[in-house]
Amino acid sequence: MTTAIAESKVETQFDLPETFADIAERLGDIPLNRIIWLPRPATEDDVVRFCEARRPVELIDGFLVEKAMGFRESLLASLLIHHLTNFVLPRKLGLVSAPDAIMRLSPGLVRLPDVSFISWDRLLATGAHTKKVAPLAPNLAVEVLSEGNTRAEIDQKRRELLAAGTQLVWVIDPKARTAEVYADATRPNEMSLLREADAFDGGTVLVGFRLPMAELFSDLDPPPTPKLTAN
């Protein structure tokens, strides 16, 4: 009996360190080249420093993770920001933020949604609009999938947003021209799938907002080539 207790103590006192593969898996099976190595646990100040240097990163479990985003995804995010802003600002509902907006979901967990909306009542309650790091989760968060993203990474981020108080999450796949809609924190894996013939709906977060998906994606399509007429 004494020997068994002693062995148990040894096992708990000398935990083996994680491998880089273990860390990458814990962060959502992301590529190793997106994990920024520091000789110490990363902090919120590191996130601000990197973002100010135009290298957006997120903070997860003491690690800095470079935000994956391509040119096409950035264009789609900017178009969605345009549509949301045109709805939000005239109604004085709140503010819409871009992919470099830093948000603290919980101590040690900092995320940068690709697009987000935060209502004025929540902004004023926290003073988030005056801070470098917003101490809250947005009402609406949007993620635009990039080739560098993994499914596990996006699923983890979406669950964290919902758990932190986000009421509506859209995950847009620009290649498939579809979107997943999540609107229930108690059922974080339950979603509705929108196709190009469907429309984004603001639900209870942005009452009255409606954007046909075809309209959003068509903005990325080049104009038709004018037909040449014979003289």
Domains and CATH numbers, the chain: 2-66 (no CATH), 71-218 (3.90.1570.10)
Dihedral pair phi/psi, residue 156, rounded to 5°: -65, -45
pTM equals: 0.87
Other CB atoms within 10 Å distance of the CB of residue 61: 12
Structure-block tokens of residue 204: 């209870």
Helix (H, G, I), strand (E, B) or coil at 151: helix
| Phi, psi of 145, rounded to the nearest 5 degrees | -65, 135
What is d(CA 100, CA 150) in angstroms, rounded to the nearest whole number? 20
Q: Which one is predicted more confidently, 42 or 19?
A: 42
| pLDDT tens figures, 38-84 | 999 999 999 999 999 989 999 999 999 999 988 989 999 999 999 99
State what percent of residues in the chain have pLDDT above 70: 90
Question: Distance (Å, rounded) from C-alpha 73 to C-alpha 70?
Answer: 5
